[in-house]
């Protein structure tokens, strides 16, 4: 789907979703970052829409939870099949609306499909255990739905970062109120709603409310939404945690990262540079797992930098509607200017710009910086752009200390010819994920994904155990054949 100044006749045009697409008076333009064209207009939600959604969702959820699990399985598997049959129904919007390269969009559609399939399997997963009791009774602990789950998702991987909460929450008998990022309301919400509706999801179980911070705040504050699933910046996560804490809600936060790639002196440098380029530049670096720090042994740094610069300079950047372009635009001017500010501030503070550091419109060139230190802005902060800062080290102990000095703890890659040695080093690294002989960007539906320190709080996303912990409560039930006798 390419930019259409006449605007397409989509189901969600000027509408929100509450089981059906409901037209509203407030609207939100959907802008393609590659061209600046308005490619659709969707409904914009307000606080009143949150209130209405909660009322409808709570009623629908009770009936949904009472159904046998196979009904939920059927909907999710049907949605997965529909997406497999027509991946462009989501992929085209990822290209136009989110600025995704074709390869990234195809990869993300695959993740969404897998998430639907894995969540369908979750619906039939054992949901309790029989407990021993000192009394003559049957004692069980079982998982029950939390009720209504509030999901707030970001712009960078909008399809999967919405669906990885929506699908398991629905599979486990909950209703969902989803607020996608207002820059990606279609690929992050409305197109997913259309998919699930076509797959047979009953009305009222999923609500998609595009909007700004006021809608997110209303979701966080509403007493009828006991569980919150948020993916976004650490700063926003702290605000949500502060607001939700006094309300005693279940809060699950997947936040930012400043992820390190450790290149040990025995690594294949050419292969390492390839992994490093992918980790830093994929989707213009707009990924929480992006390789934000390259840590290379001083004996291999010159070779690594030369290889990384060579790869960066050969990456085509432009409108992702053209399959020849591997990288697309930064999401908006504000984010582009933040990236460029961090790069220029870093050069002023002593870093050496080896390539990149320039842009045309929203297209930012892959950038490599050398001579960075612990206080260099691009090293210290999460850039969220196609920037690869490279720092050297002399000993492995020094490298581990540098990695752990970051406030973040999301993902780390270790590149070496001795994989078991790297496995032993993983014990010393403060990170939610460690990838040996791979870069930092990776995720799969069956694994419990998340970070530590400033990269996450409240549990994990994905995997049967993590999803049960996130989207259900534990209920203890005892049964005995006769009324218990007491001395009163």
- For residue 20, list its beta bridge partners: none
Instruction: Residue 462: count other Cβ atoms within 10 Å of its Cβ.
Output: 23
Give me the long-range contacts of 373-378 (CB less than 8 A, separation at least 24): 374/402, 374/405, 375/349, 376/346, 376/349, 376/350, 376/351, 377/342, 377/345, 377/346, 377/349, 378/292, 378/342, 378/343, 378/346, 378/351
- Strand intervals (E) in 117-226: 128-131, 138-145, 148-152, 175-179, 206-208
Cα angle, residue 422 at apex, residues 417 and 424 outer, rounded to 5°: 140
d(CA 147, CA 487): 39
How many secondary structure helices (H) and strands (E) does the chain include?
Answer: 15, 24
Give the three-state DSSP class for 133.
coil
Sign of the Cα pseudo-torsion (333, 335, 337, 340, in order)? negative
Alpha helices in 269-409 (DSSP H): 269-281, 301-314, 333-348, 377-380, 396-404
Which residues form the catalytic set? 254, 288
Q: Order of strands, edge to edge, in the sheet holding 148-152?
A: 21-23, 15-17, 206-208, 175-179, 148-152, 227-231, 250-254, 456-457
CB 189 within 8 A of CB 178: yes
Structure-token pair, residue 29: 């333009």
Provide the 3-class DSSP secondary structure of residue 116: helix
Q: What is the spatial distance between Cα 378 and Cα 252, in angstroms, rounded to a whole number?
A: 28
Query: CB-based contacts of 182: which residues, under 8 Å, 6+ apart?
Result: 28, 44, 210, 211, 212
**Which of helix, strand or coil describes residue 431?**
coil
Contacts of 262 (CB under 8 A, 6+ apart): 295, 399, 403, 412, 413, 414, 415, 425
What is the C-alpha to C-alpha distance for residues 60 and 235, in angstroms, rounded to an integer?
34
Residues 40/183, Cβ–Cβ less than 8 Å: no
Strand partners, 334: none
């Amino acid at each position: 789907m390419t930019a259409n100044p006449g605007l397409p006749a989509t189901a969600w045009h000027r509408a929100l979703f509450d089981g059906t697409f409901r037209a509203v008076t407030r609207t939100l333009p959907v802008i393609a970052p590659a061209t600046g064209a308005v490619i659709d207009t969707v409904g914009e939600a307000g606080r009143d829409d949150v209130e209405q959604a909660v009322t409808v969702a709570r009623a629908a959820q009770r009936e949904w939870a009472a159904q046998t699990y196979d009904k939920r399985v059927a909907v999710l598997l049907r949605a997965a099949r529909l997406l497999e049959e027509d991946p462009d129904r989501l992929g085209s919007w990822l290209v136009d609306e989110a600025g995704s390269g074709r390869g990234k969009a195809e990869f993300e559609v695959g993740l969404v499909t897998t998430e639907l399939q894995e969540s369908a399997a979750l619906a039939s997963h054992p949901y309790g255990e029989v407990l021993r009791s000192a009394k003559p009774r049957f004692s069980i602990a079982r998982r029950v739905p939390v009720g209504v789950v509030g999901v707030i998702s970001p712009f960078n991987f909008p399809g999967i970062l919405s669906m990885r909460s929506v699908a398991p929450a629905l599979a486990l008998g909950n209703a969902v109120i989803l607020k996608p990022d207002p820059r990606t309301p279609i690929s992050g919400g409305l197109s997913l709603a259309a998919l699930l509706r076509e797959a047979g999801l009953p009305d009222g179980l999923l609500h998609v409310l595009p909007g700004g911070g006021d809608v997110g705040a209303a979701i966080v504050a509403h007493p009828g939404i006991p569980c919150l699933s948020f993916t976004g910046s650490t700063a926003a996560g702290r605000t949500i945690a502060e607001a939700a804490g006094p309300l005693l809600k279940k809060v699950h936060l997947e936040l930012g990262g400043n992820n390190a790639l450790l290149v040990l002196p025995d690594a294949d440098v050419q292969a390492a540079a390839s992994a490093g380029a992918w980790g830093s530049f994929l989707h213009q670096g707009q990924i929480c797992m992006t390789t934000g720090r390259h840590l290379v042994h001083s004996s291999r740094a010159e070779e690594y930098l030369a290889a990384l610069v060579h790869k960066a300079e050969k990456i085509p950047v432009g409108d992702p509607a053209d399959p020849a372009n591997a990288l697309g635009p930064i999401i908006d001017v504000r984010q582009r200017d933040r990236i460029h500010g961090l790069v220029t501030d870093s050069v002023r503070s002593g870093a050496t710009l080896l390539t990149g550091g320039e842009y045309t419109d929203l297209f930012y060139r892959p950038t490599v910086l050398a001579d960075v230190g612990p206080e260099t802005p691009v090293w210290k902060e999460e850039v969220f752009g196609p920037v690869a800062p490279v720092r050297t080290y002399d000993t492995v102990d020094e490298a581990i200390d540098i990695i752990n000095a970051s406030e973040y703890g999301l993902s780390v890659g270790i590149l070496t010819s001795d994989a078991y040695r790297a496995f032993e080093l993983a014990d010393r690294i403060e990170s939610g994920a460690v990838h040996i002989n791979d870069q930092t960007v990776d995720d799969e539906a069956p694994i419990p994904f998340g970070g530590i320190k400033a990269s996450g709080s409240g549990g994990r996303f994905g995997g049967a155990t993590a999803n049960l912990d996130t989207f259900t409560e534990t209920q203890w039930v005892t049964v005995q054949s006769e009324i218990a006798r007491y001395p009163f």
